[in-house]
Chain A
Amino acid sequence: MRLELHEVHVSDIQWGERTEVVDHVLRVNREEAAAALAGEDRFASVRLDLARPGESVRIIPVKDVVEPRVKLKGGRGYFPGFFAPPETAGEGVTLVLKGAAVVTCGPIVAFQEGFIDMSGTGADYTPFSKTNNLVLTVEPVEGLGKHAYEEALRLAGLKLALYLAEACREAKPDEIRVFEKGSITEENEKYPDLPRILYICMAITQGLLHDTFLYAADMKTVLPTLLHPNEVLDGALVSGNCVSACDKNTTYHHVNNPVVEALYRRHGKDLNFLGVVPTVEDVRLAGKERASSMNAALAKNLGAHGVIVTEEGYGNPDTDLCLNAKKCENLGIRTVVISDEAAGTDGASQSLADATPEMSAFVSSGNVNEMIEVPPMQTVLGHPEAIANLSGGAAESLRPDGSMFVELQAVIGSTCELGFSRIGCEWI
């Protein structure tokens, strides 16, 4: 399977006569972009704004972030099952507007979205302060249920990202990245002596607006399965999560999964990358037991020597993390987990809700309870009062001058458990 990502570098975003990339500036025809969402009758109003790196802009509450992409060869549309036929992703050529993002924003109140600051202290903690953002804020029609609102906003974000990329499909790529790997049998023959590594990617699949989609299938009804890494890098996974912002994987994260990319870089050199198993975080203990058993059995049957597990979220998924590590280790497979910690504001509390001695290799992506102070921003896109409803925020978090004192978990992507951040022990 061969995937070419044709990346057009975007270093600025502006309104323009037509939607195109000129000299690395993404110009957006505002009316045409809004018209791309015209078929959605669940919105009372749609508003588009721009947010650029370094600007005094706060976006709140953020639901999802989507990278503009479209298929040039080997398929049409993008996000199979949503805006492309539900066929295997990961083959052919995909255009990527690298450095641009669609940010969806809307008052799905009492649920747990986060915020993005484009400058100041908060900007250091989120990757989306470095992207040139087209921000979509919508008001739902009166009486729209929250699940319908979530779905409408999720689809609108994907659609808008697809619109941008589609309009720029003639743009000349600045960089072409190739991801090519054969079947597991072929690669095993090529690299018989390299350790075989499987990546288990946990996804929040808990209902009540905490969902992830695999080829548009609601994953809470999906059993663990094996994907070629190209599928993940080419839109097979879509976020539908309204959950604590710091460690939810947005749709942008999925297609840029750094664990997948890092394992790919080392494939054929010092390891043999078997593939990716997207797996669930069930709301029932039996579901957690079933999924972790299937994950471990998949790893064993694929002949994995090592497994990397990434968590999404925290709290009860810590048990899924423990079970995945425990069951793989008990089958003799070395297992490393990547997770963040909820260790309290002083960092002194137990980091995970659950623990098991088999989970002996742990990479931490930060403490979600760490407090940060963020300065006021000149412009606030969205709904600033939403901070009271965010995980890591409270009504008193928003001060009269517009500054905020909040836990890190209110910042989108700040402790991303895929490692998609610059957070570390000493600096970010």
Chain B
Amino acid sequence: MTREIEKAAGIPVVQIATIVPIMLTVGSNRIVPGVAIPHPVGDPAKGPEADKKVRRELLLKALEAMTTPISEQTLFERK
């Protein structure tokens, strides 16, 4: 889906998912590593406040990835 949206509509896509090797294999271009398979965009075990912080960081990282020019598959890792 990531590749098709980019190819067909020309819209840059950031993929947040947990298993980076799979994203590299399937050809995603802008990759933000998620937290875990059952909860890629948060970390609920850390409690509501820390979870929200993680979610915000991931989203901001994804926006940064979206607006960064790239020439090859690129990982944007949360600090």
Contacts and interface: CB of A to CB of B under 8 A. Distances in A.
Contact of B36 (A284, A319, A353): A284
A284 B22 contact: no
A318 interface: yes
Contact of B19 (A208, A316, A350, A355): A316
Interface of B is mostly: mixed
A285 B20 contact: yes
A322 interface: yes
A207 B22 CA distance: 21
B18 to A, nearest CB: 6
Contacts of B35: 284
Contacts of A355: 25
B42 interface: no
Contact of A354 (B18, B25, B33, B38): B25
Contact of A283 (B18, B21, B25, B26): B18
A208 B22 contact: no
Interface of A is mostly: loop
Interface string A277-288: 000000111001
B25 A353 contact: yes
A107 B35 CA distance: 31
B38 A208 contact: yes
A355 B25 CA distance: 7
Interface size class of A (residues with CB under 8 A): 10 to 19
A207 B38 contact: yes
B37 interface: yes
A206 interface: yes
Interface in A276-300: 283-285, 288
Interface string A6-18: 0000000000000
Contacts of B19: 285, 288, 316, 319, 353-354
A350 B26 CA distance: 10
Contacts of A316: 18-19, 22, 37
Contact of A206 (B20, B22, B37): B37
Interface in B3-56: 18-22, 25-26, 33, 35-38
Nearest to A356: B21
A353 B18 contact: no
Contacts of A284: 18, 35-37
Contacts of A283: 18, 36-38
B75 to A, nearest CB: 11
A285 B18 contact: yes
A354 B25 CA distance: 6
A23 B21 CA distance: 56
Interface in A198-222: 206-208
A206 B19 CA distance: 14
A353 B17 CA distance: 13
A285 B33 contact: yes
B21 A322 contact: yes
B40 to A, nearest CB: 10
B22 A354 contact: yes
B57 to A, nearest CB: 17
A353 B22 CA distance: 6
Contacts of B33: 285
Interface string A315-349: 01011001100000000000000000000000000
Interface of B: 18-22, 25-26, 33, 35-38
A-B interface, 6 closest residue pairs, ranked by CB to CB distance from nearest = A283-B37, A283-B36, A284-B36, A354-B22, A319-B19, A353-B22
28 contacts: A206-B37, A206-B38, A207-B38, A208-B38, A283-B18, A283-B36, A283-B38, A284-B18, A284-B35, A284-B36, A284-B37, A285-B19, A285-B20, A285-B21, A288-B19, A316-B37, A318-B22, A319-B19, A319-B21, A322-B21, A323-B21, A350-B26, A353-B19, A353-B26, A354-B19, A354-B22, A355-B25, A356-B21
